[in-house]
Structure 1
Amino acid sequence: MTDHGIEFPVFRLHVVPAVLALANPSWQREVWLRPEEFEDLDYVVTVLFDDFCNADDPAPWLGESLRTEEEVALMKELGEVYSTVQEEVGRGAPDEVYLDAPAWG
């Protein structure tokens, strides 16, 4: 895979599906709430906040896993919304509590 717009194009193989999972409520309920599935909210959060980006401070990832200033701004917004929900439900809450939180949508 060649991507001349970023330093680590393989990182996008993790970032993009994680963002798509957050944009798909039916996927979240069908996959995340099934214990036998690999992907859950914790996995998505690890991808977007720890391993391949930092949604709390995405600017340093511009040119690495994020291509544009617009992607940086959108990732920052994602991080802010997630933090709001996390404060509302509590850090250790199960996925279904996050999905039922008013701010989740």
Structure 2
Amino acid sequence: MTEDGQLLSNFRVNLVPAVLALANPPWQRAVWLDPSVFENLDHIFHVLFDDFCDAGQPERYLGTSLRTDEEVDLMRQLGSALIAAGSEAPDDTDEQYLRAAAWPQVVAVAGRLAHVMVANDLGELAALHRTGCGEAVTGP
């Protein structure tokens, strides 16, 4: 695997689960609203806006944590939806975010982005498998 491919994998192993969490309301209620669990919405915000992407301006992450222009566009939409939900959470609590009128839009966009990201990752995995199988079959 190339150095760029390794970087992309390292970023996505954090980014994809964060997007999946945003697409899963039962997970959000069970995990984020439980104070004994490490993960919360603040963690998700750090992954999406600080550590592995900038959901507000994701273009520069194409090839680093995002694979396609479609992922960039959906990440931008997700960032906008999260910011809109944040405007309805004056105390910045997970409970307020989950009750925000804008939250269903967050879940919907995250669901579309999760679908695209997972499909792209599976496509890449299949391509690697085909290449690996071809080398194993034709190799010494």
> TM-score scaled to structure 1, two decimals?
0.91
Structure 2 partner of 1:36: 36
Deviation, 1:88, is 2.0
Cα distance in structure 2, aligned partners of 1:84 and 1:104: 8
Structure 1 partner of 2:20: 20
- SS at 2:87's partner residue? helix
Structure 2 partner of 1:83: 83
CA gap of 1:3–1:77, structure 2 versus 1, over 3 A, is farther
Amino acid at match of 2:49: F
Cα distance in structure 2, aligned partners of 1:53 and 1:13: 12
Q: Is 1:9 the equivalent of 2:9?
A: yes
1:3·1:9 contact (CA, 8 Å) conserved in 2? no
Give the helix-richer structure, 1 or 2: 2
Q: CA RMSD in A?
A: 1.7
Q: Is 1:48 the equivalent of 2:48?
A: yes
Task: Say how many residue pairs are matched.
Answer: 103
1:5·1:67 contact (CA, 8 Å) conserved in 2? no
Where has structure 1 moved over 6 Å in runs of 4 or more?
none
Gap runs ≥5 in structure 2: 105-140
Q: CA offsets, 1:42-88, max 9 Å, x none? A: 00000000000000000000000000000000000000001111112
Gap runs ≥5 in structure 1: none
CA gap of 1:3–1:37, structure 2 versus 1, over 3 A, is farther
Q: CA offsets, 1:13-36, max 9 Å, x none? A: 110000000000000000000011
Structure 1 partner of 2:108: none
- SS at 2:88's partner residue? helix
